[in-house]
C-alpha cells in the first residue's frame, strides 16, 4: 500500500513542478496552436491524456494538467467544457489500468493477481470507449458547442 501511495505522491509532485515551471505549455504550444476544430482537438486531447498517464504515473495528474492546458483552447474553438471533460475522462481513466507503473495499474494487478496486459483482451469497455468516442466525433455526433448569448 505504501508503494501505491508513494507513487501517487511522486506523480502529483512531478505534475505540479511541470505545470508551475511551464514545461507543459512550452511543449504543447505547437500542438494547441494547430488544433483547430473538434476532430483534431479531441485527438490531441486523447494523445496527451495517454502520454500524461504514462509519464506522470497518476491518472489524476494527467486529468488536471490536460484540463488546465486545453481549457482556453476549447473555449477559443467554441467547444463546451463538457466535451473537454469527456475526452479527458475517456482518455485517462480507462487507459490508466493497463500501465503497471501507474497507481491504477498497480491496484488492478494486485487485486486480480495477474499482469496488466493479461486482462487487456477482457477489458471491452476500456478498449471500445475511445474508439466509439472518436468515431462519433469524426461524424460530428454528440458534440456540444458553446452558446453565444
Asked whether residue 149 is domain-assigned, the answer is no
Asked whether residue 146 is domain-assigned, the answer is no
The per-residue pLDDT for 148 is 59
Domain that holds residue 95: 2-138
Asked whether residue 74 is domain-assigned, the answer is yes
pLDDT in tens, the chain (149 residues): 666 667 667 767 776 777 778 776 777 777 677 777 888 888 889 998 999 888 888 888 888 888 888 888 888 888 999 999 999 999 998 888 899 888 888 888 889 899 888 888 888 888 899 899 999 998 988 888 887 54
pTM of the model: 0.79
The per-residue pLDDT for 7 is 66
Asked whether residue 145 is domain-assigned, the answer is no
Number of folded domains that form the chain = 1
The per-residue pLDDT for 86 is 92
Is the sign of the CA dihedral 38, 44, 50, 56 positive or negative?
A: negative
Amino acid at each position: 500500500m505504501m508503494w501505491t501511495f508513494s507513487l501517487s505522491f511522486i506523480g502529483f509532485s512531478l505534475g505540479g513542478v511541470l505545470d508551475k515551471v511551464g514545461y507543459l505549455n512550452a511543449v504543447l504550444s505547437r500542438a494547441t496552436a494547430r488544433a483547430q476544430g473538434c476532430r483534431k482537438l479531441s485527438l490531441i486531447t486523447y494523445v496527451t491524456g495517454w502520454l500524461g498517464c504514462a509519464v506522470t504515473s497518476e491518472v489524476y495528474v494527467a486529468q488536471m494538467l490536460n484540463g488546465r492546458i486545453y481549457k482556453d483552447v476549447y473555449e477559443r474553438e467554441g467547444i463546451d467544457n463538457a466535451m473537454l471533460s469527456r475526452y479527458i475522462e475517456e482518455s485517462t481513466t480507462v487507459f490508466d489500468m493497463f500501465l503497471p507503473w501507474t497507481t491504477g495499474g498497480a491496484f488492478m494487478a494486485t487485486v486480480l493477481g495477474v499482469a496488466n496486459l493479461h486482462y487487456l483482451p477482457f477489458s471491452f469497455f476500456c478498449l471500445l470507449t475511445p474508439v466509439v468516442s472518436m468515431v462519433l466525433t469524426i461524424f460530428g455526433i454528440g458534440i456540444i458547442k458553446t452558446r453565444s448569448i
